[in-house]
């Protein structure tokens, strides 16, 4: 059986929050099987907030968790890295309200996890296997999840910008695809929106070091890491938001111009309606061969 995993040792970093601009230390620690991902505010008497759909707070430009009035902001890139590296259980300590943005991607988190090492635990991993489709629509925004034997995502974005326009990416989350195709993709923003966003208390920690900055017709801080880095980052965000179901998913996600609010709406619906999925375990070898088969039969 595929088993749960945690980090082998503690590992830490420091940085600033993308929206708050607040300095923060972050530490990832091993956790026992069955505990999931738990955030701990060391600046607030070690108050703990579990990374589950129950604790989703306001969601607009980033995903935040809240419990008893205590906030943890911009959780999506680290949670995405945990899914991508197969970490089921960890304690994440931070001494401020927002996770560090680092380089704007999930790569620094992946590298931290690799530095810490990954330890297999005894317990078999429980997957959320989708049994029935679920489709959510809101104007032009769409997100859906369909039954499948592995985890895959097809995401379409459409930004009226000469360097973006309509981009679609389909990716299978297996065999190192996450590390190669998604983890390095950075968040992005438009220079002409920056002032208005700062006035709303957003992007106070943003810089050309931690985001792709777009002017009206070009990238201010080239080079891009992929020609379609923008849609890749959206997939990275989606995976991080869907991590709030608290399990690895076996399903196919289709999203069109969705965002954090629609991603988390899907999480809430899945957690509310137990008839949409079942918990299942996977044979060690079976998942890999399925995944290889799916990639071979379906060009990305």
Catalytic amino acids? Answer: 260
User: Quick check: 6 binds Zn ion (CB under 5 A)?
Assistant: no
Q: State the binding string over 218-237 for Zn ion (x if CB under 5 A, else -).
A: -------------------x
Measured from the CB atom, the residue of 172 and 237 that comes closer to Zn ion is 237
The CB-of-279 to Zn ion minimum distance in angstroms stands at 28
The CB-of-78 to Zn ion minimum distance in angstroms stands at 11
Cβ atoms 130, 276 nearer than 8 A: yes
Q: What residues from 136 to 155 belong to the interface with Zn ion (CB under 5 A)?
A: none
Measured from the CB atom, the residue of 187 and 264 that comes closer to Zn ion is 187
The CB-of-299 to Zn ion minimum distance in angstroms stands at 27
Instruction: Report the residue from 187, 248, 252, 290 that binds Zn ion according to the rule CB under 5 A.
Output: 187
Q: What residues from 236 to 295 belong to the interface with Zn ion (CB under 5 A)?
A: 237
Beta strand 248-256 with 141-147: parallel, antiparallel or unpaired? antiparallel
Measured from the CB atom, the residue of 181 and 237 that comes closer to Zn ion is 237
**Which residues, 6 or more positions from 249, have their beta carbon under 8 angstroms from its beta carbon?**
127, 128, 130, 145, 151, 242
Residues in the site for Zn ion, rule: CB under 5 A? 187, 237
């Amino acid at each position: 059986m595929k088993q749960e995993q945690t980090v082998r040792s503690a590992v830490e970093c420091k940085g600033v929050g993308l929206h708050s601009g607040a300095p923060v230390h972050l530490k990832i620690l091993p956790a026992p099987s069955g505990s999931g991902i738990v955030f701990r505010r060391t600046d607030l008497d070690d108050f703990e907030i579990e990374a589950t759909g129950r604790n989703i707070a306001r969601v607009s430009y980033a995903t935040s968790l809240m419990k008893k009035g205590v906030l943890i902001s911009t959780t999506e890139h680290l949670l995405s890295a945990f899914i991508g590296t197969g970490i089921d259980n960890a304690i994440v300590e931070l001494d401020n309200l927002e996770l560090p943005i680092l380089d704007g991607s999930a790569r620094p988190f992946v590298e931290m996890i690799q530095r810490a090492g990954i330890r297999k635990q005894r317990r078999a991993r429980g997957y959320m296997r989708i049994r029935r489709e679920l489709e959510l629509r809101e104007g032009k925004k769409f997100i859906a999840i369909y039954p499948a034997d592995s985890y895959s995502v097809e995401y379409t974005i459409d930004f009226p910008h000469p360097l973006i326009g309509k981009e679609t990416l389909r990716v299978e989350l297996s065999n190192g695809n996450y590390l190669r195709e998604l983890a390095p993709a950075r968040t992005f923003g438009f220079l002409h929106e920056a002032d208005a966003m700062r006035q709303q208390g957003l992007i106070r920690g943003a810089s050309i070091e931690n985001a792709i900055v777009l002017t009206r017709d070009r990238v201010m801080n080239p080079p891009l890491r992929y020609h379609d880095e923008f849609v890749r980052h959206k997939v990275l965000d989606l995976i991080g938001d869907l991590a709030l179901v608290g399990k690895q998913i076996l399903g196919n996600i289709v999203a069109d111009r969705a965002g954090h609010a629609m991603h988390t709406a899907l999480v809430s619906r899945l957690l509310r309606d137990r008839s949409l999925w079942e918990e299942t375990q996977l044979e060690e070898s079976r998942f890999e061969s399925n995944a290889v088969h799916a990639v071979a039969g379906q060009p990305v």
